[in-house]
Chain A
Amino acid sequence: MVPTAYYLVLGAVLFCIGIASFLIRRNIITIFMSIELMLNAVNLTFVAFAHMWGQVSGQIFVFFVMVVAAAEAAVGLAIIIALFRVRQTLNVDQVNLLKN
């Protein structure tokens, strides 16, 4: 017997921790992880609303978000590997030039 609002507030808390982590952390892999945390927080909100309306559309949307997140993680981590080959660093402060 938990109010739906509590689930939504939990989603908001996780989302804002993700924002703070995105802004504070300097390691590009950890920044990428905080994006995943924000996606998870939004997924929780979707599932809570799907439960509230008694429909499955929200759950199907979460399924598609997971698929896109998997594709995004694969491509993003490949980009990080390519970046590390060129720059030899993972610190985003030192990656500030488009041209080598």
Chain B
Amino acid sequence: MQIVLFTIFGLLAVAAALNMLLQRHPINSALSLVVVMMSLAVLYWSLGAEFLAAAQVIVYAGAIMVLFIFVVMLLNAGEETRTRGSRIAAIAGFPGGAAIFCLLTFVFLKYRTQLGTTQISGMLAGTDSNLTRIAHSLFTTLLLPFEVTSILILIAILGAVVLARKEL
């Protein structure tokens, strides 16, 4: 069952990411990115991370992408004009990206047996969710970082309001 889930949603994520790369209109790219995020939520679910799957749908696909689409519509962004791009990107960027991809894939596939296999786990396997472990860790040992993120969010809200004011 897990190989089926992985194949379907992995291919869907890669196809949507490529579609995001190839589309010219920002709204099409944004909607493709939503598909990528939903597919990743299913993959998190199959890896036993139910909390992250829900947070992925709510935070990423729900909040962040709505913000993106809102800005695209607010600024009336049309189709982008393709230019040749910068020369440094052609010389260093694409070979660098290809090198990173080849290196990562080589290392991961070389140590494939040591990395082991994943079993379907969590709620899908009928066992308990690890949500209590996450919550326990988050509210005891990691309480200070957790509270600091709330201050970070507050500062981000204030910064967004200040930056988006009419008179800058």
Q: Is the CB of B77 within 8 A of A90?
A: yes
User: How many positions in chain A have a CB within 8 Å of any CB in the partner chain?
Assistant: 69
> What does the 1/0 interface line of B152-164 toward A look like (CB < 8 Å)?
1101110111111
Q: Is the CB of A82 within 8 A of B118?
A: no
User: How many positions in chain B have a CB within 8 Å of any CB in the partner chain?
Assistant: 83
Q: Is the CB of B21 within 8 A of A64?
A: no
Q: Is the CB of A29 within 8 A of B101?
A: no
Q: Is the CB of A2 within 8 A of B49?
A: no
Contacts of A95 in B (CB 8 A): none
> What does the 1/0 interface line of B27-68 toward A look like (CB < 8 Å)?
001100100110010011001110110011001100110011
Q: List A1-27 residues whose CB lies under 8 Å from chain B.
A: 1-10, 12-21, 23-27
Q: B68 touches which one: A4, A21, A26, A33 (CB < 8 A)?
A: A33
Instruction: Label chain B's interface by main secondary structure.
Output: helix
Q: A20 touches which one: B21, B30, B49, B133 (CB < 8 A)?
A: B21
Q: Cα distance A24–B64 when bound, in Å?
A: 22
Q: Is the CB of A40 within 8 A of B157?
A: no
Q: Is the CB of A75 within 8 A of B17?
A: no
Q: A3 touches which one: B71, B80, B112 (CB < 8 A)?
A: B112
Contacts of A8 in B (CB 8 A): 104, 108, 115
Known: A4-B115, A5-B109, A48-B47. A17 touches B17 (CB 8 A): yes
Q: Is the CB of A44 within 8 A of B137?
A: no
Known: A1-B3, A2-B117, A21-B21. A7 touches B149 (CB 8 A): no
Those 3 A-B pairs whose CB atoms lie nearest each other, nearest first: A71-B156, A78-B163, A19-B97
